[in-house]
Amino acid sequence: MIEETAIVTVEPNKLLQLIKEKLMAAGLKEAHAQETAKHLVFADACGIHSHGAVRVDYYAERIAKGGVTIEPEIVFEKTGASTGIVHGDNGVGQYVCDEALKYAIDLVQESGLALVGVSRTSHSGALSYYVKKAAEKGYLALAMCQSDPMVVPFGGKQTYFGTNPIAFSAPRKGSNPIVFDMATTVQAWGKILDARSKNKEIPDTWAVDAEGNPTTNPHNVNGLLPISGPKGYGLMMMVDILAGTLLGLPFGKHVSSMYADLTEKRNLGQIYLLIDPARFTDSEVFKENIDKMVDELHEIEPAKGFDQVYYPGELSQTRYDKYMAEGIPIAASIYDYLVSDTVHFNQYGGKGAFAE
């Protein structure tokens, strides 16, 4: 057993300001730090603590050591009526990918469909942040991104693909959009980072140790497991092809390490698919049908041990509403770091994928 750490509740605007100031102290320009902080607060408010404030120390160290371009030259290359590539120059991922989303929205407004790749960016955080923005403007959205090799492929012992997440959103008529975000592993690596920060055990179905055995200790993790075995394995390969190989970027085990050399740029890829439902059906009827789908899911009698049937991603929205109103819970150790004068703890560089 490991002892859990203390949790503190922080007002959202205060958390945003603390994160922004820490990232600026590391070297980010204000607009880039502001967008990154907004993204991290969103993740924590949704309960996706794996992509929230727990990442600030790592980001600050990489920024300070030159692994992120402070003033990137972000260029949009339109490659067709509905396609394009945003060259991110390895700027901070949240800012680059938010800029890329703007280009994707411009394209979908023009042609009803947009497929936009993001080439050469750093870690970009929770994909749900981006697809939710698209859905709030009335579009269906699908996003995928690659990550460094941390997953034991089905039937193998060595890691090859990353957690390679997928996010989807759909607009609704009078409610928050449906937003669904998932790693193609049983659980995202960031969830294990969150468990480490809180000294909290993990289920033995999430990961394996150095010997390939299931582990409940987040500090002993040496490989993640694909969701549903071969099915998750297939999905993570698909994501790597679409968000990496398709953009001419490194793939699989060749994707850059998050921790090995924080002075080097990461050259990661991301891709967006946006669809205007009005090009296929009546957009208002479409939204009404999504609402009806949600209502019908809610009307299904819950199985034993459940209080209600929720649509995928609904609990994240519920947490978001609650935490934005009442305050966001984060590990006390993270809060102490954010309010300190320390820019970063110099603890990530030169380590392997599963660095403490």
Amino acid 356: pLDDT = 62
The answer to whether 180 touches 132, Cβ cutoff 8 Å, is no
Q: Is 73 exposed, middle or buried (0-12, 13-18, 19+ CB in 10 A)?
A: exposed
pLDDT of residue 255: 96
Structure tokens at 341: 């004068």
The whole-number pLDDT of residue 174 equals 84
| Residue ranges in the chain modelled with pLDDT below 50 | none
pLDDT digits (tens, 9 = 90+) for 107-127: 999 999 999 999 999 999 999
Q: How high is the pLDDT of residue 286?
A: 98
| Structural domains in the chain, sorted by start | 7-339 (3.30.1370.60)
Q: What pTM was estimated for this model as a whole? A: 0.93
40, 165, 306, 334 from 18: Cα distances, Å: 11, 28, 38, 11
pLDDT at 197: 83
Give φ, ψ of 179 to 5 degrees. Answer: -135, 125
344: annotated active-site residue: no
Q: Which residues contact 179 (CB under 8 A, 6 or more apart)?
A: 128, 131, 132, 135, 167, 168, 169, 313, 316, 317
pLDDT tens-digit profile of 295-312?
Answer: 999 999 999 999 999 999
Locus of tokens 């698209």: 134
Report which DSSP code applies to 307. Answer: S
Q: Which candidate in 123, 254, 298, 344 is catalytic? A: 123
How far is residue 150's CA from residue 230's CA, in Å, rounded to a whole number? 16
Cα dihedral 186, 189, 190, 192 in deg (nearest 10): 80
